[in-house]
Amino acid sequence: MASLTRKKRTILPGFGLSMGYTVFYLSAIVIVPLSMVFLNTLHMGVQPFINAVTSPRVLASYKLSFSAAFFAAIFDAFAGFLVSWVLVRYRFPGRKLLDSLVDLPFALPTAVAGICFATLYSPVGWLGQFADKWHIGIINTPTGIVIALIFIGFPFVVRTLQPVLEELEPEIEESAYCLGATRLQTFRKILLPHLFPALLTGATLAFARSIGEYGSVIFIAGNLPMKTEIAPLMIMSKLDQFDYAGASAVALVLLLLSFAMLLVLNGVQDWQQKANH
Summarize pLDDT for 107-127 with one digit per residue, the tens.
888 888 888 888 888 888 888
Q: What percent of the chain has pLDDT over 90?
A: 21
17 belongs to a structural domain:
no
Report yes or no: 123 and 132 within 8 Å, Cβ to Cβ: yes
248: closest CA among 46, 42, 54, 29? 42
Summarize pLDDT for 50-68 with one digit per residue, the tens.
888 899 999 999 999 999 9
38 belongs to a structural domain:
no
Confidence of residue 2 (pLDDT cuts 50, 70, 90): very low
Burial class (CB in 10 A: 0-12, 13-18, 19+), 44: middle
- Higher-confidence residue: 260 or 173? 260
Phi and psi, residue 271, nearest 5°: -65, -40
Confidence of residue 132 (pLDDT cuts 50, 70, 90): confident
Mean predicted lDDT score pLDDT of the chain: 84
- Higher-confidence residue: 206 or 225? 206
Confidence of residue 4 (pLDDT cuts 50, 70, 90): very low
pLDDT recorded at residue 268 = 72
pLDDT recorded at residue 87 = 92
pLDDT surpassing 80 at residue 241: yes
pLDDT surpassing 90 at residue 81: yes
- Higher-confidence residue: 36 or 230? 230
Other C-beta atoms lying within 10 Å of the C-beta of residue 196? 15
131 belongs to a structural domain:
yes
Confidence of residue 272 (pLDDT cuts 50, 70, 90): low
Report yes or no: 238 and 253 within 8 Å, Cβ to Cβ: no
Q: 3-state SS of 4-41?
A: HHCCCCCCCCCHHHHHHHHHHHHHHHHHHHHHHHHHHH
Calculate mean pLDDT across residues 144-156: 92
Calculate mean pLDDT across residues 44-52: 86
Confidence of residue 5 (pLDDT cuts 50, 70, 90): very low
CATH code: domain of residue 210:
1.10.3720.10
Other C-beta atoms lying within 10 Å of the C-beta of residue 223? 16
Q: Tell me the Cα Rg of the chain.
A: 23
pTM of the model: 0.84
Q: What is the number of structural domains in the chain?
A: 1
Alpha-carbon gap, residue 59 to 231, rounded angstroms: 9
118 belongs to a structural domain:
yes
102 belongs to a structural domain:
yes
Other C-beta atoms lying within 10 Å of the C-beta of residue 111? 13
Burial 231-253 (b: 16+ CB within 10 A, else e): bbbbbebbeeeeeebbbbbbbbb
List alpha helices for the chain, DSSP H. Answer: 2-5, 15-26, 32-42, 46-53, 56-89, 95-101, 104-107, 110-120, 128-133, 142-167, 170-178, 183-186, 192-211, 215-221, 231-240, 244-276
DSSP state of 190: I
Domain that holds residue 195: 53-276
List C-alpha distances in Å: 123 to 126, 129, 227.
9, 5, 19
pLDDT recorded at residue 276 = 61
